[in-house]
Amino acid sequence: MSIFAEFHLQSEAMAFARTLAALPDAVVEIERVAASERVLTPYFWVSEVQLEAFEAAAGDDPSVRNLHRIDRFEETGLYRAEWIEEMEDMTYTLLDFASVVLSATATHERWEIELRFEDTDQLSTFQEFVDEYDVDVTVRRLFEATQPLTGSQYGLTEKQQEALVSAWEAGYFETPRRATLTEIADGLGITQQSLSNRLRRGHGSLIANTLTIQRPTGE
């Protein structure tokens, strides 16, 4: 029986701690994690901050190295970087204990991470690790897949659920469309690109958690 967990980690214990402290409005959303034997390379989106300022701050951040901007959409950027060994250890642990990492978003206050465990035994093993190594974890919510389904149980973050519901209520998915991305984004107080990113990730989470047994392991 699948178990979903939402928890917070203090930003000081994770990657980009110094960067996020210097740029408190910045938001980092992990896109995916590519693991190899030698290095762990996260791909992530950066928003709510000038990208040049983020790059300057990240260049002085000892928790990451080899920052590279892959793409830019208005004031949202897609990056990849390498984490130092301590950050790799924490991330590998999260990947090892959980069957799926649903989302990981960082601000200057905390990292918000959502995991799906296959059963209670897997969750218990994760809890034993947290206790043994005194990892500062604040559990926000635990629930089983047999409960009435909410956005989080479909792997959606609150922002993704808000974006999808707002777009549906505005008639964005109708033919013809009754609202544009710009209109919906203005109503939410975010940029069009931020809205587009949330809709895209939300659709991906819905497919992964409703139409497939598990996420593909290949590229």
Q: Which residue has the higher pLDDT, 38 or 25?
A: 25
Q: Where in the chain is the domain with CATH 1.10.10?
A: 152-210
Tokens of 119: 């059963």
Tokens of 169: 């209520």
pLDDT at site 183 = 92
Reported residue count of the chain is 219
* Residue whose entry in the numeric block shows the structure tokens 């990892």: 135
DSSP class of residue 165 equals H
Judged by average pLDDT, the poorest of 21-30, 84-93, 116-125, 173-182 is: 84-93
pLDDT, mean of residues 142-147: 63
* Residue whose entry in the numeric block shows the structure tokens 């973050």: 157
pLDDT at site 184 = 92
Contacting residues for 15 by C-beta, under 8 A, at least 6 apart: 42, 63, 64, 83, 87, 106
CATH of domain 152-210: 1.10.10
Which residue in 68, 90, 100, 70 sits closest to 81, CA to CA?
Answer: 68
Strand ranges inside the chain, DSSP E? 3-10, 27-35, 40-47, 64-73, 76-83, 100-106, 110-117, 137-144
pLDDT at site 120 = 83
Tokens of 215: 């996420």
The mean pLDDT of the chain is 78
For the question of whether the overall pTM of this predicted structure is more than 0.75, the answer is no
pLDDT, mean of residues 58-62: 91
Task: List C-alpha distances in Å: 7 to 4, 34, 101, 103, 141.
Answer: 10, 22, 12, 11, 7
